[in-house]
Amino acid sequence: MKTKIIFLDIDGVLNSEQSCIYYNRRSNEGKSHTLECEFCPINMSNLNYIMENVSNTEIVISSTWRAFHKIAELQDILTKNGFLFADTIIGATPRLNVDRGLEIQSWIDAYGASEIEKFVIIDDNDDMMHLKDSLVQTDVAIGLTIKDADLIIKELK
């Protein structure tokens, strides 16, 4: 059975300028928070919503976070931040120091394009080259919105 793939960025998607300001303000007020890395709960809820509504979907991390964390660590970080589908994270794109679209294409080529039914790229940047039509670009100020999530669901169904 062919699979659907989400290429997932983290900064500007699951966290945002808005959520960083919030957590920095909470720290300055002397209020502690317990998570190692905190993401916007609304953005995380929107990612869960996508996964709940599109079957046979797996996630590939395309974020720069892949350079600093192993897949198991990313699964743990995302789970601690409310992600309910960490077991669907199957890997990460290679780090080729080129535009992200070329890194994604390299992953697709290695995985086998014929094995992929559909794919979507969720990112706040637009360096997707020839894959730009598959991009759902988020606003770095607010991250993954419900409107973005509905568009992604529509694209993957």
4-56: pLDDT as tens digits: 999 999 988 998 766 655 555 555 454 444 444 478 899 999 999 999 999 99
103-154: pLDDT as tens digits: 999 999 999 999 999 999 999 999 999 999 999 999 988 899 999 999 999 9
Domain count for the chain, please give it.
1
* Residue ranges making up the domain that contains 124: 3-156
Q: What are phi and psi of 87, to 5 degrees?
A: -70, -10
Strands (E), the chain: 3-8, 57-61, 89-92, 116-123, 135-137
Query: CATH number, domain at 142?
Result: 3.40.50
